[in-house]
Amino acid sequence: MQALHIVSEEPSKTLEKLEESYQALRTHILQLEANKSSFQEHEEKITHFVHEIGRAAIKETLSRYDIRSARIHVGTQIYRHRTSAPKEYQTPFGSILLERQMYVNRKNDGNGLSICPLELQAGIIEGYWTPLAAQQAMWALSHLTPRETEAMLFRFKGMNPSRSSLDRLPKAINELWEPQTVSYHTQLIHEEGIPKEATSCAVSLDGVMVGMKPNTTLLGESIKGTQWKEASCGTVSFFDALGERISTIQYGRMPEHKKFTQKTLLRLHTEHIMQHRPDLQLVHIADGAQDNWTFFDEYMPLGFQVTDFYHASQYLKEAFNAAYLKEPNKAVSKFKQYQTILRDEINGINKVMRALRYLRDQHKGNQAIVTCLTYFTNNQHRMRYALAKQNNLPIGSGIVEAACKTLVGQRLKRAGMSWSFDGAQGVLTMRSLAKSDRFDKAWPFIANHYKHKVTPYKSLQLVG
């Protein structure tokens, strides 16, 4: 890590404020016996003092990252001192107002870019957030809306960002993350260990519809109404010898052509796992969508393939309901009988197929039965459920379907919501990282974008 040029100064008014807050807190604690307030009132008072101390300490610390010099350079660029001006920054303890130095690159007829050494050296995010404040806010936004996050932070009496600041943060982070999403996820994959007790690994892929803000047409006319497009969820799960799930990594992607990035991440992750643990039994699990199986067949390492048992069961149930429309009890009985055969008997799929062909012949033209038979015909080689169970392998895609609900649905599909790609992907990326226990490992990728080494060009310091 490169060393930073940090200004050392005599104790300032901020340090005096820090000392005053500390003494006030100390006095409050020493006088507890004389104070008849409730414990909650003491908690609130102590929290207030702690936040005051935190703001003062961070303000003083942050000020030391500033540079007061006639000229500075960042990389190969030279900047001259322009002015000093106050700026509000959001810290984990609330906002602070700090005087900082501004420099300008005088190229382009004096209209060059202004920079702030304090922000560059400290890694201030989007010119407003301290790194920890941004990390905490983004974690909250991956679970809550900006309105809910604003209300939560207000109640906690710590950070106090505006709703608009919270709304902009995921978009800004996604602009940095998205171009490097494959690279960053690859680094996370390579840094993660594979559970030693794992004996199998299941990879699943599924889609979920999300409301997108309308695009403009080629004529520049706005298309009214929400556009519903398919986002995608992918999961990589490890199981032990008894078939118990150990852990799951979730991936969430907003709508994109042929789920390209989602499939790339799943492929890279699976290839890494199988390269380092070729002893694992790889399992591909999905519903009957042909695009999923084309991906597994053509781009993924070979694995034991399973069409989700519960999707298959639903088709089977609809076929028997259609065949015994006037005999609902018989429909239920037959469905349960053949569902058990499908799940528990080796080559049970053959008996089910014979039963479905019989129903088709007995009820010619019944579309529900024809649809079910077509589904089973196309997927019969992936319906070896009894064999999977014998080897303690999963037979259902419930993990990825749960990801569709909890990763996407609970956050992005609330009433009236529609999204731009950057805003939604920023939330979805951070949410998938949080739900996969990767958030803290991934955050430095973002924070490092905002850190830059700044050095005085000359030792001459500004006066005053």
Instruction: List, for residues 294-314, the tens digit of each pLDDT value.
Output: 999 999 999 999 999 999 999
Q: pLDDT > 90: what percent of the chain?
A: 77
Return all residues near 98 (Cβ < 8 A) that are at least 6 apart: 59, 62, 63, 86, 87, 88, 89, 118
Reply yes or no on whether the pLDDT at 426 is more than 50.
yes
Reply yes or no on whether the pLDDT at 117 is more than 60.
yes
Number of H helices, E strands in the chain: 19, 10
What is the rounded distance in angstroms from the CA atom of residue 64 to the CA atom of residue 118?
8
Reply yes or no on whether the pLDDT at 391 is more than 80.
yes
* Banded pLDDT at 47 (limits 50, 70, 90): confident
Rounded mean pLDDT, 200-211? 96
Q: Are 196 and 241 in contact (CB under 8 A)?
A: no
Residue 218 vs residue 333, higher pLDDT: 333
Closest CA to 308 of 235, 409, 229: 235
- What are φ and ψ of residue 413, in 5° steps? -120, 40
- What are φ and ψ of residue 242, in 5° steps? -90, 0
Return all residues near 24 (Cβ < 8 A) that are at least 6 apart: 49
Instruction: Measure the CA angle with vertex 407, ends 402 and 412; round to 5°.
Output: 125
Q: What pLDDT does 363 receive? A: 94
Q: In what order do the strands lie in the sheet with 94-104?
A: 114-115, 94-104, 77-91, 71-74, 455-456
Going from the C-alpha of 333 to that of each of 83, 327, 328, 362, 409, the distances in angstroms are: 82, 10, 9, 18, 34
Instruction: Measure the CA angle with vertex 16, ends 14 and 21; round to 5°.
Output: 95
Instruction: Measure the CA angle with vertex 234, ends 274 and 339; round to 5°.
Output: 95
Closest CA to 267 of 234, 239, 238, 243: 234
Q: Where are the domains of the chain?
A: 13-173+444-456, 193-308+396-437, 310-385
Rounded mean pLDDT, 269-276? 98
DSSP run (H or E) holding 455:
strand 455-456
Q: What's at 331, amino acid-wise?
A: A
Q: What pLDDT does 284 receive? A: 98
